[in-house]
């Protein structure tokens, strides 16, 4: 059989918002028979013209295919949409953003209704969906059998990264990475604020900032190595004591530039606390322990 004649898995997709519509288009373009449902029916009209079957209700859409993908606003909307659906024997893939606890509760709820469950945390925005090499991917966790069975179909819209049997893990990875992203944005906001009133072109400053962040990012591998081994001095490049000694200069510069230190001060405070506990020869890794205590 050539690739063109291999039968493509039929997919039911509930939810045609910005993300759901992007997902739908990639499955249609790849030749997967697709049945869609959306609470507001008008959003399905363009997809019908592109070859999707449109179900009148979520119940009907779920009845058509064994692989059911849900991409709705939030966990409450998943509960609403699937309230009357017969999930027995279905493979439910939930791509609706939620907390790890919601993902686990929904997994239990799905199991009680006789279905297998996989949760997906989407690390992409709609324009990245279906674009090879866009860098977008989806974290999956939950039933490993379900993941293996549908891996190729799930890989059509975006890359797949399976992170474990615990249905909450994909959501946890998703939130962890996005939280780190906001920390990076917070640092960048502080940096731009420092130059804001000066005769420095933000457009000239931006590439310097971006390159610096990229150069510093691999430090997370050293952090992981230290967390695994339990020795936070292992491979240390800049000791905590040295770094804490530098923080008054950062805070004074902020004051002189008329910039609030509110984004960076909490981190500096944690560094000082760890130093006070005797972590001077360590890397910055001890801050993590202060957070989880």
Q: Which of 8, 39, 149, 273 binds ligand NDP (CB under 6 A)?
A: 39
The distance of closest approach from Cβ of residue 115 to ligand NDP in the complex, given in angstroms and rounded to an integer, is: 18
User: What does the alpha-carbon distance between residue 84 and residue 58 come to, in Å, rounded to a whole number?
Assistant: 8
If one asks whether residue 17 binds ligand NDP (CB under 6 A), the answer comes out as yes
Residue 15, sorted as left (phi over 0), alpha (psi -120 to 50) or beta, turns out to be left
Residues 125-144, one symbol each (x = binds ligand NDP by CB under 6 A, - = not), give xx------------------
Q: Does 38 bind ligand NDP (CB under 6 A)?
A: yes
Q: Does 71 bind ligand NDP (CB under 6 A)?
A: yes
Instruction: Look up residue 102 and give its two tokens.
Output: 């919601």
Kindly list the strands in the beta sheet with 137-142, ordered across the sheet, starting from the edge strand earlier in the chain.
Answer: 53-54, 34-37, 11-14, 67-70, 91-94, 116-123, 137-142, 159-162
Stretch in the footprint of ligand NDP (CB under 6 A) among 12-20, 138-146, 183-191, 269-277: 12-20
Helix residue ranges, H only, 1-143: 18-29, 45-49, 58-64, 75-82, 100-112
Rounded Cα–Cα distance for residues 51 and 146 (Å): 26
Which of helix, strand or coil describes residue 53? strand
Q: Total number of residues binding ligand NDP (CB under 6 A)?
A: 22
Out of 26, 60, 80, 288, point to the residue binding ligand NDP (CB under 6 A): 80
At its nearest, how many Å lie between ligand NDP and the CB of residue 261? 32
Taking contact as CB under 6 A, which single stretch among the options 86-94, 118-126, 236-244, 247-255 is the one that binds ligand NDP?
118-126
Q: Which of 11, 12, 13, 20 binds ligand NDP (CB under 6 A)?
A: 20
Looking at 196-264, list the stretches that DSSP marks H as alpha helix, in order from N- to C-terminal side: 202-216, 219-229, 240-256
Question: 13, 44, 122, 275: which one contacts ligand NDP (CB under 6 A)?
Answer: 122
Q: How far is the CB of 74 from ligand NDP (least distance, A)?
A: 6
- Check residue 158 and report its DSSP letter: S
Helices (H), 113-201: 144-154, 168-195
Q: Which stretch binds ligand NDP (CB under 6 A): 66-74, 149-157, 191-199, 285-293?
A: 66-74
43 counts as binding ligand NDP under rule CB under 6 A: yes
Question: Around Cβ 250, how many Cβ atoms within 10 Å?
Answer: 15
Residues near ligand NDP, by CB under 6 A: 15-20, 38-40, 43, 71-74, 77, 80-81, 96-97, 122, 125-126
């Amino acid at each position: 059989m050539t690739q063109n004649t291999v039968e493509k898995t039929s997919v039911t997709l509930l939810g045609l918002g910005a993300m759901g519509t992007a997902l739908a288009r990639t499955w249609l373009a790849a030749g997967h028979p697709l049945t869609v449902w959306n609470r507001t029916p008008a959003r399905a009209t363009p997809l019908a013209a592109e070859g999707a079957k449109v179900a009148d209700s979520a119940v009907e859409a779920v009845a058509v295919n064994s692989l059911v993908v849900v991409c709705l606003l939030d966990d409450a909307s998943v509960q609403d949409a699937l309230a009357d659906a017969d999930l027995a024997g279905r493979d439910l893939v939930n791509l609706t953003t939620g907390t790890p606890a919601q993902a686990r509760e929904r997994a239990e709820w799905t199991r009680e209704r006789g279905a297998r469950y996989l949760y997906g945390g989407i690390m992409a925005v709609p324009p990245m969906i279906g674009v090879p090499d866009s860098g977008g991917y989806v974290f999956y966790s939950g039933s490993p059998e379900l993941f293996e069975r549908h891996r190729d179909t799930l890989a059509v819209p975006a890359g797949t990264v399976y992170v474990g049997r615990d249905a909450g893990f994909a959501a946890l990875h998703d939130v962890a990475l996005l939280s780190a992203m906001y920390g990076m944005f917070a640092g960048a906001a502080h940096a731009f604020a420092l130059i804001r009133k000066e005769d420095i072109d933000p457009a000239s400053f931006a590439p310097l900032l971006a390159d610096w962040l990229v150069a510093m990012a691999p430090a997370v591998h050293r952090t992981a190595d230290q967390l695994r081994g339990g020795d936070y001095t292992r491979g240390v490049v800049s000791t905590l004591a040295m770094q804490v000694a530098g923080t008054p200069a950062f805070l004074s510069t902020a004051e002189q530039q008329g910039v609030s230190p509110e984004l960076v001060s909490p981190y500096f405070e944690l560094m000082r606390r760890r130093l006070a506990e005797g972590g001077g020869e360590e890397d910055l890794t001890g801050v993590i322990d202060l957070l989880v205590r």
